[in-house]
Each structure stands twice: as structure tokens, then as C-alpha cells.
Amino acid sequence: MTTPALISPISWHKKVLSFVMPVKLQEFRSSDNEPFELYIRNGQLQLIFHNAIYSYGTAYKPFLVAFEHMPQLVRNACSMLVLGSGLGSIPRIVHEKYHRKDIAFTIVDIDKVILNLCSQHLHDKGIHNCRFVREDAAVFIRSGREQYDIICMDIFRDLQVPLPFIDYPFLSTLAERLSTGGTLAFNYIAPEAGDEARVKMTLEDIFTDVRQVRYMRNTIFLATKKGAEQ
């Protein structure tokens, strides 16, 4: 995927200052003209949309924590689907923390600007085994047949997962796109009391095994098809 250079070079003094305080680098507009910002913090790029951190390099805690609970699968997986690209924190964690240089990534995002930023950043980091798809995740999931060993669901609108992505039809189709023994890692923030329990019940209707791991406000559901070895 060839994209224009959207991320400007970062000076050494901004990189050093980022270990003292977050440093704002650039502002962008999404495909639907929503503002978002690029920061550098502790030497890592952060993508910020309103109140939400959409990406934070290899320090992106929700999936650092999730993968710590499924290390064997991450080490053995051949394919991974990432729904919601951010700046590519998930592929970077897999490459740099788990030393998986051969895993094939499919990265889906509806926003062209964010997807192009992700493509550029991963290319700059030497991560090339990625297929980038600009499409609504629900359409992509319904229209395909390919299966994946791991599906990472990281779609947010600010701090909320849009309602269509927590409903039974979408989640059951996600299960169909998992290989036997595969796992869905679903990053979620409950808007109100009781919402998390409802999502868990829906997942339990679909998957063989559902676990919850937490990082601050985030709950990461690990929903596994029969036959997985953790």
C-alpha cells in the first residue's frame, strides 16, 4: 500500500522531551472531518481522538495485557486480523515483544487518513507483512471467507464501541472467521453499569470459552473457539 508521507520527521529534542511530558506533533482530520492529534510520549507515538488513546506504540496496554494471557497462541499464530488500525500498535507488539516477523496481518479501518498513517508508521518500523483494507469492519466480516488464528477487535468512537459491534450478529460472524482453536481479543469499555455483563453473556452464547482481563477502564474479552491451547 503506497501512501503519502503524513507523519513529519521528529526532532531529537522532541523525542527527549517526550520522556518528561507528552509533546504534540501534528493535527489531522479524519475522513469524516473529525479532529485528532498525534503526540509523542516516552518515545512512542500516541494517536488521540477526543478522550481516547487510539494507539500508543508498543506501550498500548490493552493488548499488551491481552497477549500476556494468550502467549502461546501469539507465538504460534500464522494470521491475525486487526479491526481498528490506530497507528499499528498491535502488529508492533507482536513483532517487537513476541519476535514474530512472519505472521500475516490484515488491518481494517473505515478511515482512510488513519489507515494511511498506520501504513506509513508500520513501514517506517520495518513491518511489511500487512494487508491494509479500507472498509467498514462489519461489511468486511460479512463479505469474506478467510479465517484467522487471532482477531483483535479494537473499534471505538471516542471511548465507546459502536453498538453494531457488540450485537450478536456481528460477534457471531467474527466467530465464523476464526480458525479452529483461534481467539478473539475484544477491547471494550462499558459505558454504564451492566453493559459489560451483557456483552459477556452475548459472547458466551457464541464462543466455547470467554475470559476477561482488565487494564484500568478497559475490559479485554478473550473469546476462544474449541481446541485452543493457551
Ordered structural domains, the chain, with CATH: 12-55 (no CATH), 57-224 (3.40.50.150)
Q: Which pLDDT score, from 0 to 100, does residue 229 have?
A: 45
Model pLDDT for residues 163-219, shown as the tens digit of each residue: 999 999 999 999 999 999 899 999 999 988 889 999 999 999 999 899 999 999 999
How far apart (Å, rounded) are the C-alpha atoms in residues 127 and 72? 21
CA neighbor of 7 nearest in space, from 114, 129, 138: 114
What secondary structure letter does DSSP report for 161?
-
Task: Provide the whole-model pTM.
Answer: 0.92
Neighbours of 97 (CB within 10 A): 15
* Beta carbons of 146 and 122 less than 8 angstroms apart: no
Model pLDDT for residues 125-177, shown as the tens digit of each residue: 999 999 999 999 999 999 988 999 999 999 998 888 999 999 999 999 999 99
CA neighbor of 129 nearest in space, from 82, 97, 174, 173: 82
- Calculate the average pLDDT of the chain: 92
Share in percent of the chain as helix, strand, coil (round to 5): 30, 35, 35
Model pLDDT for residues 85-100, shown as the tens digit of each residue: 999 999 999 999 999 9
Instruction: Identify any residues that bridge with 145 across adjacent strands, giving them in sequence order.
Output: none
